[in-house]
Amino acid sequence: MDNPSHILVVDDDPEIRRLLGKYLDGQGFRVSLAGSRAECEAKLSELKIDLLVLDVMLPDGSGLDLCRSLRDRMPGLSVILLTALKEDVDRIIGLEFGADDYLGKPFNPRELAARIRAVLRRGRQEPRPAVERRYIFANYVANIESRTLTAPNGSPVDLTGGEFELLMVFLQRPGRILSRDSLLDLTQGRAADPFDRSIDILVSRLRRKLGDASVFNMLKTVRNKGYQLAVPVERGA
């Protein structure tokens, strides 16, 4: 890579840090390591980090609390959570707090590298052309190249990379009923496992930011089938 993405791995286990650092370096990433929340905060203040691989359990604080704090302070930073396999609640809360993805321990480093590439690919912005393509729905305006969403009152809507990618899938297929499996494949390029609730959490977050969290007028739930964008969509420039 000419300009490798900079990954910060935060885990209190020194052996896991060492192994992940060595593997991700071999995959072409620039890698920094931290063993605690304090060390992570110091690295983030000193370095330009593109993606954070963050363990939920840290010796000086919760990785979930750190994830929520970073989403407010550094909305452009991508986060992948590492959780124990039995900590399903932590995974759900992590997604609600703004994590882009999660991976249960133990895991294959190759899968982590694939998840990192997928998250970085979703969050990468293309140069803005002279004329910007956009989708218009329910008086919202979604700009494709700049990956921004503007509310009916003209204010920006802060979306994570995963939330914007999910919105694009719905805007490109208005009126179609999309299953959870198809949404996961279209947004993250992977199949769902029986307990994967990441799409449900993303839909919930997107509804909340669109003001649709209690009425479901835009993103409807179709029982036993999936979700549907139920408002007209216009394309413009």
Q: Can you give the CATH number for the domain in which 89 is found?
A: 3.40.50.2300
Neighbour-count burial of 151, counting CB atoms closer than 10 A to its CB (0-12 exposed, 13-18 middle, 19+ buried): middle
CA atoms within 13 A on the CB side of 178: 25
Whether residue 17 sits in one domain with residue 55: yes
Mean pLDDT across 229-234: 93
**What is the number of other CB atoms lying within 10 angstroms of the CB of residue 71?**
17
Is 90 exceeded by the pLDDT of residue 17? yes
pLDDT mean over 233-237: 81
For the chain, give the percent of residues with pLDDT over 70.
87
Mean pLDDT of the chain: 85
pLDDT digits (tens, 9 = 90+) for 194-223: 556 778 888 999 999 999 877 778 999 998
Q: How confident is the model at residue 74 (pLDDT cuts 50, 70, 90)?
A: confident
Range in 18-22, 69-73, 162-166, 186-190 the model is least confident about:
186-190
Whether residues 115 and 52 share a domain: the answer is yes
Q: What is the pTM of this model?
A: 0.58
In total, the chain counts a number of residues equal to 237
Instruction: Provide the residue range defining the domain that includes 229.
Output: 134-236
Lowest mean pLDDT among 4-18, 37-51, 176-190: 176-190
**Confidence (pLDDT) at 129:** 40
Same domain for 91 and 139: no
Rg (CA), the chain: 18
In this structure, what token pair is assigned to residue 119? 């998250």
pLDDT at 127 over 50: no
Helix axes 37-46, 63-73, angle to 10 degrees: 20
Check whether residue 14 and residue 46 sit in a common domain. yes
Let me know whether 10 and 118 are in one domain: yes
Note whether residue 129 is domain-resident: no
